[in-house]
Amino acid sequence: MRNFIGFVVSRLITGVIVVAPIYLTLLLLLKAAQSLLSIMKPVAALLPESVPAEELIALLIILLFCFLIGLGMKTPKGRAIWERLETSLFERLPGYALFRSLTQQLSGKTQDNTWKPALAEIEDALCPAFIIEELENGSFTVFVPSIPTPLAGAVYILTSDRVHPLDVPFTQAIRTISQWGSGSKDLLAAMKAEPDK
């Protein structure tokens, strides 16, 4: 019974971790659209009644705003402003750095070594894992996910001889974990191909 409750709770937490950012984003967009509706009434009165003008104009303004933010992020000044906002505000929010790192890894937009796929020696077994950071003494902090839920698991600090970095994409490691280990032979082959330390 305890195993079943643990199973349900871990899956529930994983679901919340995935759904919460999406829900909050949609909630903020809807709130922004609602606040724009009252401002748009005079403009909407100029359009035919058959067109849901207020909602349409509010949506277009939000999309335009998102486009302008994205455009600004491509400039050096925009990136500098964003980096200042990140360090002073967003990185203080719990879980922000984790989600940023994960989304960058999933989209392939980072060269960061965080979340680098690896096989970790836990007791007498090799486990799919992700390197979170390398410590000053050469040890690694690794995250060993639960199968089949890549966002739940345990954190270990292991010596370098017990951590085997893999030359495989982050998405391939996630796929292997979410498919109950199917594809582990490719991870093992990537470990065997690594040069001797």
pTM metric for this prediction:
0.49
Calpha distance 197→181 (Å, rounded)? 26
Please check whether residue 73 lies inside any domain of the structure.
yes
Q: Looking at the structure, tell me whether residues 74 and 132 fall in a common domain.
A: no
Q: Average pLDDT for residues 111-122, to the nearest whole number?
A: 79
Whether residue 197 is predicted with pLDDT greater than 50 in this model: the reply is no
Answer yes or no: are the C-beta atoms of 131 and 140 closer than 8 Å. Answer: yes
The whole domain housing 145 covers: 116-192
Residue 111 lies in a domain: no
Q: What's the Cα-to-Cα distance from 37 to each of 26, 32, 50, 51, 52, rounded to whole Å? A: 16, 9, 17, 14, 11
Q: Please say if the pLDDT value at position 98 is more than 50.
A: yes
> Considering its fold, how many domains does the chain have in total?
2
Q: Does residue 108 sit within a domain?
A: no
Q: What is the mean pLDDT of residues 139-145?
A: 91
The residue ranking higher by pLDDT, 119 or 169, is 119
Give the pLDDT mean for 13-28: 64
- CA terminus-to-terminus distance, the chain: 45
Residue 132 has pLDDT above 60, yes or no: yes
65 and 136 in a single domain? The answer is no
pLDDT, tens only, 27-81 = 776 777 666 666 666 665 656 666 555 666 666 777 777 788 777 877 888 888 8
